[in-house]
């Protein structure tokens, strides 16, 4: 019988362990990645030779169905008691330091003799490279986003609020098969466009404004992420100009994406483009990030990223210019890194859409 994808992932994690070592996975996205489990309480615990799935009474039947490749343990009222029992007498327990709270760490420490060490993002590293199935799910999430964007353009006009647009977008995505929105949508109109993370408010959209929409859908656990900036009626030459600059910088960065380059190199292409046009001070965030089971995951695509791009990573390319008291522009595509460069999953047009 063909081995389950999730089983192969757990085996990869197990291969990295020595005798006397255990790895405890508490981050629910990582748990899902390794187990296929979609519930809200569960843990993967493995050594070099054994892999367990711990959950409580509520999720037993679900776990039996979703992760038959792991040994099911219905844990004690305090999960750390069960972890301690399994880990004993191992010497080392790796944990997910970015996920385990200090309170849980202290409890765990009081119960086990093994030395607790940082797991250093081992599962996150496996998640960097997407399988064909994962790419398909993310593509579907991106397709839903494209369609919802096209529909919503018919609704963006003076008099409508940002929140109304955000609500309609989410409803539209759900109708198209999304389980939910990737995040609280950013719908930033007019001067609010200068806020890179301007979540939709009750502000009414007016003639002559740009509206930046940063949106995405979740499909079977996988996220999409796309940003478009559209014009409502006649906009100023200054806004037109920054749209043009961001658009060219985004295109240049997309063209620069290649296996073997670092995130920082790609970031630099867009950053230089914007700086050469005099707006370097107004692009204050990184160029992009990985997307998958999380909306933000590795690899980072920023000046601080030395991660080398590899085939089948999925990243965003999203430069922007934000002018305080004036407005802003961001354009973002979701892409797969392939041998031939970046393949766009976001297919909505990037020509300036002017809505009247
Ligand atoms: Mn993004």
Distance (Å, rounded) from C-alpha 85 to C-alpha 114?
11
User: How many angstroms does the Cα of residue 335 sit away from the middle of ligand 1?
Assistant: 11
User: Are 239 and 323 in the same domain?
Assistant: yes
Model pTM?
A: 0.95
User: How many angstroms does the Cα of residue 81 sit away from the middle of ligand 1?
Assistant: 39
Ramachandran area for residue 277 (φ above 0: left; ψ -120 to 50: alpha; else beta): alpha
Percent of the residues in the chain that have a pLDDT greater than 90, as a whole number: 98
User: Are 65 and 99 in the same domain?
Assistant: yes
User: How many angstroms does the Cα of residue 287 sit away from the middle of ligand 1?
Assistant: 9
User: Are 81 and 174 in the same domain?
Assistant: no
CATH for 109: 3.40.350.10
User: Are 236 and 202 in the same domain?
Assistant: yes
User: Are 166 and 111 in the same domain?
Assistant: no
Distance (Å, rounded) from C-alpha 252 to C-alpha 267?
10
User: How many angstroms does the Cα of residue 321 sit away from the middle of ligand 1?
Assistant: 15
User: How many angstroms does the Cα of residue 334 sit away from the middle of ligand 1?
Assistant: 8
- Per residue in 51-71, pLDDT tens? 999 999 999 999 999 999 999
Q: Which domain holds residue 23?
A: 5-127
User: How many angstroms does the Cα of residue 198 sit away from the middle of ligand 1?
Assistant: 13
Q: Of 127, 147, 163, which marks where a domain is finished?
A: 127
User: Are 160 and 94 in the same domain?
Assistant: no
The Cα angle at residue 280 between residues 279 and 281, in degrees rounded to 5:
90
User: Are 156 and 119 in the same domain?
Assistant: no
User: Are 52 and 155 in the same domain?
Assistant: no
Q: Of 127, 150, 183, which marks where a domain is finished?
A: 127
The pair of structure tokens assigned to 166 is: 């955000």
User: How many angstroms does the Cα of residue 154 sit away from the middle of ligand 1?
Assistant: 24
40 within 8 A of 9, measured Cβ to Cβ: no
User: Are 166 and 62 in the same domain?
Assistant: no
Helix (H, G, I), strand (E, B) or coil at 57: helix
User: How many angstroms does the Cα of residue 86 sit away from the middle of ligand 1?
Assistant: 40
* Contacting residues for 259 by C-beta, under 8 A, at least 6 apart: 309, 310, 311, 337, 338, 339
User: How many angstroms does the Cα of residue 179 sit away from the middle of ligand 1?
Assistant: 19
User: Are 186 and 60 in the same domain?
Assistant: no
User: How many angstroms does the Cα of residue 23 sit away from the middle of ligand 1?
Assistant: 31
Rg of the chain taking only CA atoms, in angstroms: 23
Distance (Å, rounded) from C-alpha 271 to C-alpha 158?
33
User: Are 247 and 104 in the same domain?
Assistant: no
User: How many angstroms does the Cα of residue 333 sit away from the middle of ligand 1?
Assistant: 8
User: How many angstroms does the Cα of residue 84 sit away from the middle of ligand 1?
Assistant: 39
CATH for 192: 3.90.230.10
pLDDT value at residue 153? 97
pLDDT value at residue 1? 44
Q: Of 127, 159, 185, which marks where a domain is finished?
A: 127
User: Are 138 and 206 in the same domain?
Assistant: yes
User: How many angstroms does the Cα of residue 288 sit away from the middle of ligand 1?
Assistant: 6
pLDDT value at residue 2? 56
Distance (Å, rounded) from C-alpha 151 to C-alpha 228?
13
The pair of structure tokens assigned to 214 is: 């940063």
User: How many angstroms does the Cα of residue 102 sit away from the middle of ligand 1?
Assistant: 29
Residue ranges in the chain modelled with pLDDT below 50: 1
The pair of structure tokens assigned to 328 is: 């802003």
User: How many angstroms does the Cα of residue 208 sit away from the middle of ligand 1?
Assistant: 26
């Amino acid at each position: 019988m063909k081995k389950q994808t999730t089983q192969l992932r757990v085996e990869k994690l197990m291969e990295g362990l020595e005798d006397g070592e255990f790895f405890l996975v508490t981050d629910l996205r990582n748990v899902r990645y390794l187990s296929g489990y979609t519930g809200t309480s569960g843990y993967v615990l493995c050594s070099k030779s054994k892999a367990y799935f711990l959950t409580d009474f509520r999720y037993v039947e679900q776990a039996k169905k979703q992760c038959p490749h792991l040994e099911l343990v219905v844990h004690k009222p305090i999960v750390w008691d069960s972890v301690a029992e399994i880990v004993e007498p191992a010497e080392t327990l790796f944990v997910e330091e970015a996920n385990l709270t200090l309170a849980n760490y202290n409890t765990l420490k009081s119960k086990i003799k093994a030395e607790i060490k940082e797991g250093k993002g081992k599962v996150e590293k496996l998640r960097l490279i997407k399988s064909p199935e994962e790419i398909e799910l993310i593509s579907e999430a991106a397709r839903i986003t494209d369609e919802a964007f096209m529909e919503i353009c018919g609704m963006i006009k003076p008099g409508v609020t940002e929140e109304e647009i955000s609500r309609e977008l989410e409803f539209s995505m759900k109708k198209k098969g999304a389980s939910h929105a990737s995040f609280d949508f950013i719908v930033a109109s007019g001067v609010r466009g200068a806020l890179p993370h301007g979540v939709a408010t009750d502000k009414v959209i007016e003639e002559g404004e740009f509206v930046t929409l940063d949106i995405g859908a979740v499909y079977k656990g996988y996220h999409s992420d796309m940003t478009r900036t559209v014009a409502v009626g006649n906009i100023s030459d200054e806004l037109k100009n920054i749209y043009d600059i961001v658009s060219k910088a985004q295109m240049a960065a997309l063209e620069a994406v290649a296996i073997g380059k670092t995130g920082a190199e790609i970031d630099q292409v867009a950053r230089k483009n914007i700086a050469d046009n005099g707006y370097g001070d107004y692009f204050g965030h990184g160029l992009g990030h990985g997307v998958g089971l999380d909306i933000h995951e590795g690899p980072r695509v920023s000046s601080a990223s030395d991660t080398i791009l590899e085939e089948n990573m999925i990243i965003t390319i999203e430069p922007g210019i934000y002018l305080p008291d004036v407005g802003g522009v961001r354009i973002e595509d979701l892409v797969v890194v392939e041998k031939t460069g970046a393949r766009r999953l976001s297919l909505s047009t990037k020509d300036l859409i002017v809505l009247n």
